[in-house]
Structure 1
Amino acid sequence: MTTDLDVVLEDIRACRACAGVLAHTPRPVVRVFPETQLLICGQAPGRRVHESGLPFTDPSGDRLRDWMGVDYETFYADHRIGVAAQAFCYPGTAPKGGDYPPPTRCADLWRPQLLEALPRMSLTLLVGGYAQAWALGARAGRNMTETVRAWRDYAPDVLVLPHPSWRNTAWLRKNPWFEADVVPYLRERVRGIMTFADPASAGNAVPS
Structure 2
Amino acid sequence: AIVPMGFCYPGKGNSGDLPPRKECAPTWHKKILEQLPNIELTLLIGQFSQQYYLTNKPKTLTQTVQQWQDWEPEFIPLPHPSPRNTLWLKKNPWFESEVVPYIQQRVHSML
Q: Tell me which residue corresponds to 2:78.
A: 161
Q: Number of aligned pairs?
A: 111
Give the Cα–Cα distance (whole angstroms) in 2 for the partners of residues 111 and 130 of structure 1.
13
- Runs of 4 or more above 4 Å deviation: none
Q: Tell me which residue corresponds to 2:36.
A: 118
Equivalent in 114, 125, 142 of residue 59 of structure 2: 142
Bigger relative contact order, structure 1 or 2 (CA pairs below 8 A, ≥6 apart): 1
Give the Cα–Cα distance (whole angstroms) in 1 for the partners of residues 10 and 109 of structure 2.
34
Give the Cα–Cα distance (whole angstroms) in 2 for the partners of residues 153 and 160 of structure 1.
10
Q: Which has the larger radius of gyration?
A: 1
Equivalent in 124, 129, 133 of residue 51 of structure 2: 133
State percent identity of aligned pairs.
Answer: 46
TM-score using structure 2 length = 0.95
CA RMSD of superposed structures (Å)? 1.0
Ranges in structure 1 where 5+ consecutive residues have no aligned partner: 1-81, 195-208
Give the Cα–Cα distance (whole angstroms) in 1 for the partners of residues 48 and 105 of structure 2.
25
Q: Tell me which residue corresponds to 1:74.
A: none
Structure 1 position 140, deviation (Å): 1.5
1:41-120 equivalences under 5 Å are 82-94=1-13, 96-120=14-38
Give the Cα–Cα distance (whole angstroms) in 1 for the partners of residues 88 and 15 of structure 2.
18
TM-score using structure 1 length = 0.52
